[in-house]
């Protein structure tokens, strides 16, 4: 049965190119991202869940400028590089059971931080009215609590190997399925979608900087396209929810924004795509449908499997969206 036959309706339209967001749209690295922001929040004495909620879908440079007291503009690029390398480090951490080793790590971390005062709110941050209250989607398997556990393990300065030996359990086999895995994954339908697009017909426009973007794509076997607009592009004055990343990517592809299709998962990215004038397809891979269906996207799909692309003889792309 074809994708279209599984759904009640299908819409068909043409475009000249595709602009993909990356994380949450092409790849899933949300667990590693949340762990990195949790570690940064712990470092700054902030509440991790507030930091995660406020930073979602925005450039790390913008977030760090607002979060880190006294951070000078000339040091932002260096701090972004360090932060994004920490995301990839979390992503490459071998999976470990959340029982045993993590409970010990939390106990050690608790004793290390006892007596310290954590800021309960993110006072230095500029209010962001379009920052969503992040609702986790089932396709992302790990809760913020899970990432807090692994971050506590990291912050305890105890190696994963040492902790595993320390907390060796006779019930290890029973706990084998209860693992935190932060590796970067390709999302459903993405490989088929990219394989159906001719070279030079698609681009990536992401809120991540080059280190993080290329790292995630390489880890999932996605070829880095010739046009890849990252947050540290010197030509980019504003990040999402402003349309600048998509406008720049469309220009680099040599197409009009109004003839582009944008794939996005986050509220800020969807707003950026809509503001660019492109046809926006929102995927429910990081947020529930209720959180993104009223933001102006032309289509809302569960995964990219619901979208088919054919390359026409005149060079146009014909899209079939089943819903």
Domain boundaries, the chain: 4-28+184-322, 30-180
Tell me which residue of 282, 248, 247 sits closest to 266, measured CA to CA. 282
pLDDT the model gives residue 97: 53
Tell me which residue of 97, 90, 95 sits closest to 168, measured CA to CA. 97
Interatomic CA distance for residues 15 and 302, integer angstroms = 21
Mean of the pLDDT values across residues 25-30? 94
CATH architecture of the domain with residue range 4-28+184-322:
3-Layer(aba) Sandwich (3.40)
For 134-189, how does the pLDDT look when each residue is reduced to its tens digit (9 = 90+)? 344 443 444 444 444 444 444 443 333 333 333 343 334 444 455 778 999 999 99
In this predicted structure, the answer to whether residue 263 has a pLDDT above a threshold of 70 is: yes
Grade residue 6 by pLDDT with cuts at 50, 70 and 90: low
pLDDT the model gives residue 166: 36
**Residue 264, strand partner residues:** 282
User: DSSP letter string over 234-248?
Assistant: TT----TTSSHHHHH
In the chain, the percentage of residues whose pLDDT exceeds 70 is 72
Interatomic CA distance for residues 192 and 309, integer angstroms = 10
In this predicted structure, the answer to whether residue 2 has a pLDDT above a threshold of 60 is: no
pLDDT the model gives residue 96: 66
Grade residue 56 by pLDDT with cuts at 50, 70 and 90: confident
């Amino acid at each position: 049965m074809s994708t279209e036959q599984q759904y009640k309706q299908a819409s068909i339209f043409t475009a000249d190119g595709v602009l993909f967001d990356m994380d949450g749209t092409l790849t899933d690295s949300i667990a590693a991202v949340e762990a990195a922001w949790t570690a940064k929040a712990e470092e700054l004495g902030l509440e991790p869940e507030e930091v995660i909620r406020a930073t979602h879908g925005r450039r790390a440079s913008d977030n760090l400028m607002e979060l880190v007291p006294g951070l000078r503009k000339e040091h932002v690029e260096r701090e972004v590089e360090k932060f994004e390398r920490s995301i990839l480090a979390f992503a490459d951490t071998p999976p470990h059971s959340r029982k045993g080793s993590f409970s010990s790590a939390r106990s050690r971390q608790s004793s290390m931080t006892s007596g310290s005062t954590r800021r309960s709110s993110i006072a230095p941050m500029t209010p962001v009215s379009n920052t969503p209250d992040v609702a986790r989607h089932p396709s992302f398997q790990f809760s913020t609590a899970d990432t807090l556990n692994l971050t506590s393990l990291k912050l305890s300065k105890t190696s994963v190997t040492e902790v595993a030996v320390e907390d060796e359990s006779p019930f290890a086999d029973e706990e084998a399925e209860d693992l935190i895995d932060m590796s970067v994954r390709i999302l459903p339908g993405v490989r088929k979608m990219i394989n159906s697009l001719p070279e030079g017909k698609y681009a990536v426009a992401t809120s991540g900087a080059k280190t993080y973007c290329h790292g995630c794509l390489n880890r999932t076997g996605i070829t880095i396209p010739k046009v890849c607009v990252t947050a540290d592009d010197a030509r980019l004055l504003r990040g999402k929810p402003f349309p600048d990343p998509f406008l720049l990517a469309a220009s680099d592809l040599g197409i009009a924004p109004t003839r582009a299709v944008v794939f996005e998962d986050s509220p800020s990215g969807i707003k950026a795509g809509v503001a660019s004038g492109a046809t926006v397809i929102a995927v429910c891979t990081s947020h529930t449908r209720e959180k993104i269906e009223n933001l102006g996207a032309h289509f809302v799909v569960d995964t990219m499997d619901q979208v088919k692309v054919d390359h026409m003889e005149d060079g146009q792309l014909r899209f079939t969206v089943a819903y």
